[in-house]
């Protein structure tokens, strides 16, 4: 969820930027867990996260985002994402086309990979697809080239509280037995958030219901 929030901030900045202006924003947050596509990235430990987004031109944006990660329980350093794209609106339909590369500079397994994505939204509903175009040769988990992630969400506000219901499916080209679906819900107000997530991964505690609380602040840098 946190990465989704960071990307949404980048898109918002891009949509409000004119051809002769630019907007530079930043975000920082702390969370009780880092859940990405329904799976903990910090071994169910806390995460500190932050990013910088630059919206420029008619709908163009670039950004970077960082979080600590811990896949083994021994401390795996941090994740750094770099992304960019083009977002806009056609009437009441919003769209976003871009790329995102996930880098793990101190991870000895060399888990870096890159995706292309496309999302569309209307009347509070959002749907998107992410497609893996490049992976590191040392990647030891099921991820690889030609993996596909599908995501859908419904977001709405009631009584000044933001609500989100979401579901995603991750399909792995190299090992279809690792495919899984996840779903969850979140609420947020004034930077505070609470989320509950569940997936259908079999084995161990991977499919436990997970609750996450967090606080995020946004800054205008330019």
- Mean pLDDT within 116-133: 97
* Bridge partners for 152 per DSSP: 127, 167
Supply the pLDDT for residue 106.
Answer: 79
What's the confidence (pLDDT) of residue 14? 47
Terminal-to-terminal C-alpha distance of the chain:
26
CA-atom Rg of the chain in angstroms: 17
DSSP state of 178: G
Q: Which residue has the tokens 């811990």?
A: 70
* Residue 6 burial (10 A CB sphere; 0-12, 13-18, 19+): buried
Q: Which residues pair with 22 in a beta bridge?
A: 56
Residues near 35 by beta carbon (within 8 Å), at least 6 away in sequence: 1, 2, 41, 184, 195, 197, 210, 212
Is residue 18 pLDDT above 70, yes or no? no
The per-residue pLDDT for 4 is 53
Mean pLDDT of 46-61: 94
Phi-psi region for residue 70, left (φ > 0), alpha (ψ -120 to 50) or beta? beta
pLDDT tens, 172-222? 988 889 999 999 999 999 999 999 999 999 988 999 999 999 999 999 998
Confidence at 66, pLDDT banded by 50, 70, 90: very high
CB 118 within 8 A of CB 97: yes
Lowest mean pLDDT among 19-28, 131-140, 203-212: 131-140
This prediction's pTM: 0.89
Angle at 143 between CA 141 and CA 144, to 5 degrees: 125
Name the pLDDT band for 105 (thresholds 50, 70, 90): confident
Is residue 3 within a helix (H) or strand (E), and if so which, with residue range? helix 2-15
* Domains in the chain, CATH or no CATH each: 2-220 (2.40.160.40)
pLDDT attached to residue 19: 43
Question: Does 141 score more than 90 pLDDT?
Answer: no
The backbone torsions φ and ψ at residue 119, rounded to the nearest 5 degrees and listed phi first, read: -130, 155
Mean pLDDT of 150-172: 97
Confidence of residue 1 (pLDDT cuts 50, 70, 90): very low
CA dist., res. 50 & res. 43, Å (int): 19
Task: Band the pLDDT of 22: cuts 50, 70, 90.
Answer: confident
């Amino acid at each position: 969820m946190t990465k989704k929030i960071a990307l949404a901030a980048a898109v918002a900045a891009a949509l409000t930027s004119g051809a002769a202006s630019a907007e530079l924003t930043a975000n920082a947050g702390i969370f009780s867990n880092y859940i990405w596509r329904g799976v903990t990235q910090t071994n169910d430990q806390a995460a500190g996260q932050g990013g910088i987004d630059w919206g420029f031109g008619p709908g163009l944006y670039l950004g970077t985002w960082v979080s600590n990660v811990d896949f083994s329980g021994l401390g795996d350093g941090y994740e750094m994402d770099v992304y960019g794209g083009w977002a806009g609106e056609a009437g009441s339909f919003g769209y976003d086309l871009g790329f995102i590369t996930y880098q793990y500079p101190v991870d000895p397994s060399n888990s870096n990979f890159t995706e292309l994505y496309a999302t569309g939204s209307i009347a509070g509903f959002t749907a998107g697809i992410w497609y893996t175009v490049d992976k590191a040769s040392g990647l030891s988990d099921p991820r690889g080239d030609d993996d596909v992630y599908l995501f859908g969400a419904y977001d709405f506000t009631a009584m000044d509280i933001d609500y989100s219901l979401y579901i995603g499916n991750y399909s792995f080209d190299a090992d279809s037995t690792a495919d899984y679906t996840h779903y969850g819900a979140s609420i947020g107000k004034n930077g505070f958030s609470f989320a509950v997530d569940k997936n259908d991964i079999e084995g161990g505690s991977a499919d436990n219901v997970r609750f996450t609380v967090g606080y995020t602040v946004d800054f205008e840098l330019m």
